A and B are shown apart, each in its own frame.
Chain A
Amino acid sequence: MNKYLQIFKLSFQQEFAYRLNFIMWRVRNILQIILTFFLWSSVFKNPQTEVFGYNQEKILTYVFGILILRAIVFSARAVDVAGEISNGAISNFLLKPVSYFKYWATRDVASKVLNLSFSVIEITLLFLILKPNLFLQTNLVVLFAVFISLILAVVLFFCLLFITNMSAFWMPENGWAAQFLFIVIITDFLSGGVFPLDIMPLVLQKVLYSTPFPYLLFFPLQIYLGKIAGLEIIRGLITSFAWVFILLMILKFTWAKGLRRYSAEGR
């Protein structure tokens, strides 16, 4: 497994080669969090106010939780796959005895480690400056469920991202736009990155819960906040797991089909 350790090291170096990009990305994250923080603290001015089952403490934990979860789930390098397919750089990997999936999974892990460590620092700083009341989950069983749901979320997002990116096999020039729409807008919105999903009408929530999106951010956070328990957690984990399975199948299938279409242009 030395191969992938080497990839891990190189990824780190690459991230640092684009220091400015990385810094801008972190700045964006901080600004987003400050924005949402002030929005929600003005809505919940009175600590006693409770809307849709959220009081000030829980909504603020939600906002901070999203920041950490985004760093874990959404920070992924596989956004570059579409580009590699359309400019032909993927050929370099197809020619080598290395798994392209494991390669990107490794780069993702490197990216997550880096982003997460920065997130922790940022959160500590924001915490000291804003001094919000945060909700601390202490039940170990719940925390374990959170952990499991997070691993599933990471795999889910990896699959979703990879499948979207592979559209470049068929539409080499549309890669970027499709990704932007899908990842930045739709996924973030549908997974609860913008606001808690349980403030939506019940029917919509039901529909959403049968898609993979809420399991990316919202579901793990709901478990942490203690808003769902017992059977609901189990049901969610099973649905999430089922989606992992389905998406892995689609991923494999699309990959096999895409490679046959691949024309190794450009390079």
Chain B
Amino acid sequence: MKMERAIVVDRLVKNFEVTEKEKGLRGSIKSIFSPKKKTVHALRGISFTIQPGELVGFIGPNGAGKTTTLKTLSGLLYPTSGFVQVLEYDPWDKKSDFLKQISLVMGQKNQLWWDLPAIETFEFNREIYEIPKRDYEKNLEELITLLDVGNLLKTQVRRLSLGQRMRMELVAALLHKPKVLFLDEPTIGLDLIGQQKIREFIYEYNHKNNATIILTSHNMDDLINLARRVIVIGEGRILFDGALEELTGRFAKAKIIKVSFSKEVDIKTIEEIGTVKQVSFPEVTLSVPRSAVAVAAAEILQNFPVNDLTIEEVPVEEIIKKVFRGELTRHE
């Protein structure tokens, strides 16, 4: 029977208890005797499902709960309440058969043995995941070619650059060909070429293996180039779940009007119609509230000498930027 859903999350809640410490030595001493406990609500009941083979982007500001979700899905964190299922397993049980089918890769963190060359970690993983020798050799060959790290296998991990290390991390995480892959900020700290390499690789891996991938990133290019579907999280809640293009319609309260004038016009009179974003005569860009866009366009066409006029959506980049700044809240 074919699995219908790779990942099911239903009303997932995760709270952390943290001890607060006041600053300075006095604060430290005080916190030993009367620790101040505080509950942090990392996830306040999120629900979603993901089909096998989907590549989903998680976006949201820092502390929104993206990483907490990934850690819960991979069995590291125990849910405070709610239901989680990945490949029909409960991640918390940490069954071998489950762990052999998933991988969690986190940006700046490493699973590679720091003091040894990366090949040692690969060999180690081969034993741990019980990968047959033949598959291992095939997978390793494929991965190092795709990621272009063949000549670095015998270099001590501590001597690798960040980009090289990240690629090695990916090799280590994918040797066992996981069906579900959680990527937390895979391009963080990498230069543009490095980012591009990783992106191409993720795309390939997703397509070749029909792998289910959840990706969190602060990098807009990652999302625009890779993710069809995005889930926006803010303060532990899901604010949006759908196609990347729809994100604009949901969140942009304004549309963009681009006008090309045939004669010079008085900017002041245009400013009464909408917010002027950019002026480089003869072109002017305006931002107009969604509901008023038709009226505004008509008004411009009637009262000004117009060569050309287009109405556009706010670019996805702008929306994502706002998401990361935490400026977007749920609007019903």
Contact = CB atoms under 8 A, between A and B. Distances in A.
A201 interface: no
A163 B55 CA distance: 41
Contacts of B123: 6
B115 A264 contact: no
A206 interface: no
B111 A263 contact: no
Contacts, number: 62
A131 interface: no
A186 B234 CA distance: 49
Interface stretch (B44-52, B93-101, B185-193, B217-225): B93-101
Interface string B87-118: 00000001011011011101001010101100
A97 B96 contact: yes
Contacts of B106: 267
B258 interface: no
Contact of B116 (A7, A14, A95): A14
Contacts of A260: 78
A100 to B, nearest CB: 10
Nearest to A92: B111
A95 B115 contact: no
Contacts of A7: 124
B294 interface: no
A7 B16 CA distance: 33
A14 B113 contact: yes
Secondary structure of the A contact surface, majority rule: helix
| Interface range on chain A (Cβ under 8 Å from partner) | 20 to 34
Given A13-B116, A97-B100, A2 B127 contact: yes
Interface stretch (B68-76, B206-214, B282-290, B309-317): B68-76
Nearest to B115: A17
B196 to A, nearest CB: 26
A146 to B, nearest CB: 35
Interface in A1-38: 2-3, 5-7, 10, 13-14, 17-18
A222 interface: no
A97 B77 contact: no
A7 B113 CA distance: 12
A95 B129 CA distance: 11
A92 B128 CA distance: 12
Contacts of A3: 127-128, 130
B129 A96 contact: yes
Contacts of B96: 97
Nearest to A263: B16
| Closest 6 pairs (CB-CB, A-B) | A97-B96, A17-B115, A6-B127, A267-B109, A260-B78, A97-B99
Interface of B: 16, 71, 74-78, 94, 96-97, 99-100, 102-104, 106, 109, 111, 113, 115-116, 120, 123-125, 127-130
16 contacts: A3-B127, A3-B130, A5-B127, A6-B127, A13-B120, A14-B116, A17-B115, A95-B76, A95-B99, A96-B125, A96-B129, A97-B96, A97-B100, A97-B130, A260-B78, A264-B76
